[in-house]
Amino acid sequence: MPVVEQLLGLAGVGKERLQLCWVSAAEGQLFADYVTKLSDLIGQLGPFQPDDFKLELAAVETVLKSTRIRWLMGMDRQITEQENVYHEKMDSEAYQAIVRQAVAEEYEKGMIFQALADGPQSVREIAGKIGLPVYTVSLRLNDLERAGQAEFHEFEGTTAKFVRMAA
């Protein structure tokens, strides 16, 4: 849940659109109160227009499918509750900070990967399309190249153009 909340925040959708409440069948009033509260919240947020967030939602999906994030989410309890081979446990908050940083980086890579679906683009063109600084796009594009997800395509004058590789 925290990872998806973070991603919805990064995407501009709003993490408050994701809610989870555990309610028993015997707690009818609690359920009714929760539905009323959620209905009021959605009314304040207004209707969600998925077409306005196509690029962002595709990037979110890319992140949730990434091996790195899936591994980090799956290893949480083992890393924070059990000792490693050096008899050390990692502090839960420190681990969550690592996860949050990884999610942010993977989201940036996902945005670049999705932006490249439109064909060959320069680092500046990508940065303009997705709203990230040129330096950040350059760093994450290097990550995508190393992973075989993007590659140099051609020079247009002195400007390098990159393309997306098959996922």
| Beta bridge partner(s), residue 155 | 160
How far is residue 58's CA from residue 62's CA, in Å, rounded to a whole number? 6
For residues 162 and 153, the answer to whether their CB atoms sit within 8 Å is yes
Q: Chain-centre distance of CA 77, in angstroms?
A: 21
Q: pLDDT for 17-35, tens place per residue? A: 898 989 888 899 999 999 9
How far is residue 116's CA from residue 154's CA, in Å, rounded to a whole number? 14
Q: pLDDT for 35-45, tens place per residue? A: 999 999 989 98
How far is residue 93's CA from residue 100's CA, in Å, rounded to a whole number? 10
Indicate the Cα dihedral angle 41, 44, 45, 51, nearest 10°. 120
For the whole model, what pTM was predicted?
0.89
Q: pLDDT for 116-153, tens place per residue? A: 999 999 999 999 999 999 999 999 999 999 999 999 99
Q: pLDDT for 69-125, tens place per residue? A: 999 999 998 889 997 778 888 999 999 999 999 999 999 999 999 999 999 999 999
How far is residue 77's CA from residue 95's CA, in Å, rounded to a whole number? 10
For residues 29 and 125, the answer to whether their CB atoms sit within 8 Å is no
For residues 112 and 150, the answer to whether their CB atoms sit within 8 Å is yes
For residues 6 and 103, the answer to whether their CB atoms sit within 8 Å is yes
Length in residues, the chain: 167
How far is residue 36's CA from residue 116's CA, in Å, rounded to a whole number? 42
Q: Which tokens sit at 143?
A: 């990550």
